[in-house]
Structures are given as structure tokens and as C-alpha cells.
Amino acid sequence: MLKYEKQYFTFYSIMSFKIPRVTVDGIILNNGKILLIRRNRQPFKGRWALPGGFVEYGETTEDAVVREVYEETGLKTRIRDLAGVYSDPNRDPRGHTISIVYSLEIIDGRLKGGDDASDAQFFDVKKLPCLSFDHNRIIKEFLEGKRS
């Protein structure tokens, strides 16, 4: 690496940019029911949401969704498909986030709330509670076969 490149990358890495944070959400369907978690932290503490969370530095979004679902539900999963990308700057009250949503299938585990989730349950897709963030929209579009 040339000297000026090293200086540039050092400067670039310490600059403060306002950039969106990347999150992931997992959709797991089972016999007409969808898996939701009850949030144990703000924002939306006590409300239901899709399992998911922030991507850690150095982690792929695919690994992040499998990790987050396991941490919050106790279920080991694998990715079936990319369900959509949601990037409305106002979708999260904590700031601009971009959520990459995957559909997943269960491969093992016992359902239980954990980490950021006080509970985890399957809900009939026709009788969903009011959800956190834009998760009602995400589920609606997934069930309609739309990709965002």
C-alpha cells in the first residue's frame, strides 16, 4: 500500500459519517402461523415483532439473521430465501436503519424467548397483533408474494 493510501484510509476510518445501520429480520412460517417475539427492550418494549436485530461488525447478514433468531427464540434455522429490503429512513425511532429480511426454516431447537425477547410465539397470520417498526407491512408484503 502506498503512503498516501495508508493516510487516506486512516483518515477515512476515523471520520464521523451519518450512515444507516444494518439490521436483519427473520420470517418463519409454520402451518399458517408466523413466529413473533415480544420485545424486552425499547423501542416498543412489550410489543410483538419479527425476530431480528443489528448486524455485528464483520458478520454477514445471513449469519446475523440465523444468530439473532437463535438468540431470541432458541430455534436453529437456515435461510430459505431473501424476502425483501426495507430502508425507509423513518422505520426505526432510533435512527435510519436498513433491514434485510429473510424467510427461514426451522432445523432444530426448542421455542423460548431469550436475549432481547421476553417471549416467542407463533401467531395465526390472519390474527396478528399490532407489531413494532414496519413489521406488519413486511409480513403483509411477504404473504402477498411481494419483494420490497
Q: Is 90 helix (H, G, I), strand (E, B) or coil?
A: coil
Q: How far is 40 from 57, CA to CA, in rounded Å?
A: 23
* pLDDT for 18: 83
Residue 14 placed within a domain: no
50 has a pLDDT exceeding 60: yes
10 has a pLDDT exceeding 90: no
* pLDDT for 146: 77
Identify the CATH number of the domain in which residue 124 sits.
3.90.79.10
63 has a pLDDT exceeding 90: yes
Residue 148 placed within a domain: no
5 has a pLDDT exceeding 80: no
Residue 6 placed within a domain: no
**Domain containing residue 53:** 19-143
Average pLDDT, the chain: 92
82 has a pLDDT exceeding 70: yes
Mean pLDDT, to the nearest integer, of 72-86? 98
* pLDDT for 35: 99
Residue 50 placed within a domain: yes
- Residue 125 amino acid letter: V
Residue 11 placed within a domain: no
Name 13's Cβ contacts closer than 8 Å, sequence gap at least 6. none
* pLDDT for 12: 61
- The per-residue DSSP string of 17-68 comes to ---PEEEEEEE-EETTEEEEEEE-SSSSTTSEE-SEEEPPTT--HHHHHHHH
| Strand 97-109, strand 21-27: pairing | parallel
Total structural domains in the chain?
A: 1
Q: How far is 94 from 74, CA to CA, in rounded Å?
A: 26
Residue 2 placed within a domain: no
